[in-house]
Amino acid sequence: MTPVPPTGPLPSRRRALRVAALGLAAAALRDDPARAQGPEGATILAPGPEDGAGARWAARAAGALSRGMQRPGAMRLAVLGGPDGVTAANRFATLDGSQGPSLLALPGWTCHARLVGSTRARFEPRGWLPLLLSWQGAVLAGRGPLPGAAGAPLRVAMPSAEAPEAAALAALDLLGLPGRPFAGLPEAAFAAGEADALILAGPEAAARAQTLGATPWCAFPGPAEAEAAEAPPFPTGSPLAQAVVAAVAAMQVRAALVAPALTAADTVAAWRRAGSRWQEEERALPGEGQPLAGAAAASAFALLLPPPDAVLDYRSWLDRRLGWRAG
C-alpha cells in the first residue's frame, strides 16, 4: 500500500521556503544596486527623419534617461517612418517584448491621425503608459474682442480639413459664431489680414497672440501643472467639444514617451524616476515646451484620447462642415 504523506508540516515548510526565497531575492537586490534600480534599458522607437524634430526629441530623452539611471548607453534609438509618427506607432503596437523592452516617442499629431479616422493609423494608444511629455499651451484668438453671433462670418485658414488646425472652425461653431474656412497657413493668413481667427499653440501662447495682433478669446485645458493662459476657458461640455480639445492637444503635445500597456509597475516607476533628469535638462532648453512626468504627463496624454462618441461626432462634423471623410 502506498503510504499517505503527512499533511501537517508541509504547509509550514512551504511557507518557510517562500520566506527564505524572498530573503535571498532581497539580499540579491542589496548586493546588486543596478537590479534594484529597475530595467537595464530599452529601445526608443522614434519618427523620422533622423535629423527631424521627433528624432531629436527622442535622442534627448534617451540620453537623459540613461544618465538618470546612471547607465550610459542604456537607452537606444530606432528611427522609423516619417515625421507624422504613424509608422513608428504602428510598429510599436505590434511589438511583443521578445526583442527586449521598447518605448515610443509619440508626437501629438500622431494621435490626431487616429481621431480623424486615417486608415494608416492602425494602433490603439489608450492603454499606453506615458512616462514623459513636452506640453505647450493653446488659445483660440482673433481680431478684437470676441464678436457676437450676428456678425459677419469669421475667416479661418487651415492647411487641410484633416489637420488639427481645423479645430478652430469647430470651436467657433460650438461658440455659436459663424465661420468660413479656406485653405492656408493660419498664422501667415492672419498676419496678412486674410484670416480673422486661429488657434495658437506654443510657449506663452497668449503672449504670442498679442504679438501677432490677436486677442485671446478662449484658453484650452491642460494638466494642473501646466501654465494657465489669461483667457476664459473653452467650454468642454459636449462630445464634440471634447474632440476639439483632443485636436488642439495634438498641437499642444510636442511629443510623449510612452511604454506598452502591460509594462510592469516597478519598471514604469524606475523610468519615471529617471525622467526627473530629463525634466531638469529640458527646462534649460528654450522653446521646447513644459516638461511633464508622472501624473502630469498622464493627465496631458489623456486629453489626446476623447471617448468614442466624441470621436464619432468629430468625424461627422468633418463630413458635414468640410465635406471630408477618411478614405
User: Which DSSP string do the residues of 40-85 spell out, in sequence order?
Assistant: S-EEEEEES-TTSHHHHHHHHHHHHHHHHTT-TT-EEEEEES-TT-
Least confident piece of the model among 191-195, 223-227, 320-324: 223-227
* Domain assignment present for 28: no
Same domain, residue pair 92 and 71: yes
CATH assignment of the domain containing 71: 3.40.190.150
Residues 321, 70: Cα–Cα separation, whole Å: 53
Sign of CA dihedral 126, 117, 177, 155: positive
Q: What is the pLDDT of residue 151?
A: 85
Same domain, residue pair 231 and 262: no
Burial of 31 (0-12, 13-18, 19+ CB in 10 A): exposed
Q: Taking phi first (over 0 means left), then psi (-120 to 50 degrees means alpha), and beta for anything else, what does residue 120 get?
A: alpha
Cross-sheet strand order for the sheet of 179-183 = 179-183, 154-158, 197-202, 137-142, 215-219
Same domain, residue pair 77 and 152: no
CATH assignment of the domain containing 193: 3.40.190
CA distances (Å), 72 to each of 54, 68, 78, 156, in order? 21, 9, 17, 49
Same domain, residue pair 258 and 130: yes
- pLDDT tens digits, one per residue of 99-123: 889 999 999 999 999 999 999 999 9
* Domain assignment present for 315: no
Residues 228, 223: Cα–Cα separation, whole Å: 9
Domain ends where: 231, 250, 269?
250
* Domain assignment present for 208: yes
* Domain assignment present for 168: yes
Least confident piece of the model among 131-135, 198-202, 226-230: 226-230
Same domain, residue pair 273 and 200: no
Same domain, residue pair 189 and 244: yes
| Grid cell locating 108 | 501629438
* Domain assignment present for 100: yes
18 pLDDT band, cuts 50/70/90, is very low
Per-residue pLDDT, averaged over 245-266, amounts to: 95
Same domain, residue pair 148 and 217: yes
Closest CA to 260 of 91, 79, 93: 93
- DSSP alpha helices (H): ranges in the chain? 9-31, 33-37, 53-68, 86-94, 108-115, 167-174, 186-191, 205-211, 239-252, 265-283, 294-302, 308-322
Q: What angle do CA 206, 175, 108 make, to 5 degrees?
A: 55
Same domain, residue pair 191 and 215: yes
* Domain assignment present for 184: yes
**Strand pairing class (215-219; 179-183):** unpaired
In this structure, the number of other CB atoms found within 10 A of the CB of residue 206 comes to 21
Between 256 and 6, the more confident residue is 256
Question: Taking the mean position of all CA atoms in its chain, how far away is CA 24?
Answer: 40
* Domain assignment present for 72: yes
Predicted TM-score (pTM) of the model is 0.85
Between 281 and 327, the more confident residue is 281
Burial 169-182 (b: 16+ CB within 10 A, else e): bbbbebbebebebe
Same domain, residue pair 154 and 245: yes
Q: What is the pLDDT of residue 39?
A: 63
Closest CA to 103 of 255, 256, 257, 267: 257
* Domain assignment present for 35: no
16 pLDDT above the threshold of 50? no
327 pLDDT band, cuts 50/70/90, is confident
Same domain, residue pair 264 and 120: yes
Same domain, residue pair 300 and 271: yes
Q: What is the pLDDT of residue 69?
A: 84
Domain ends where: 250, 267, 286?
250
Q: How many domains does the chain have?
A: 2
Domain ends where: 233, 250, 267?
250
Q: Which domain holds residue 92?
A: 41-135+253-308
Same domain, residue pair 109 and 48: yes
